[in-house]
Amino acid sequence: MSLTILKQKILALYDSFANDTIDAFRIAEVKNLLWVLKPINKIGKEQIDVLWEFFGRDVEERAYKGRWNREYLLEKKANIDSALEIVLQQGFVV
């Protein structure tokens, strides 16, 4: 699996959090992609844990508090994008 594809899917999912409805299928798809990440060392595992923490918290928040406004969406996308970039640049997973 390509981390670049995972990143695109996560960011596209986050874009949908500004909509009135939540797409459970897309959330499940991203969760499945995150499950198959294999860390190559302890730092990789820690970074995957950070991704899961950000993602889980954001999905739960969106589900319970409703759609995100544009500014909040940009902030949340920047956070998850930063976590993904660390994984991509450092090669912590296979």
In the chain, domain spans: 3-90
At 15, the amino acid letter reads: D
The mean per-residue pLDDT over the stretch 10-15 comes to 96
Place of tokens 């450092």: 90
* The predicted structure's pLDDT at residue 4: 85
Q: What is the pTM of this model?
A: 0.89
pLDDT in tens, 39-77: 888 888 888 899 999 999 999 999 999 999 999 999 999
- In this structure, the chain runs to a length of 94
- Per-chain mean pLDDT for the chain: 91
- Report yes or no: 31 and 9 within 8 Å, Cβ to Cβ: no
**8: β partners:** none
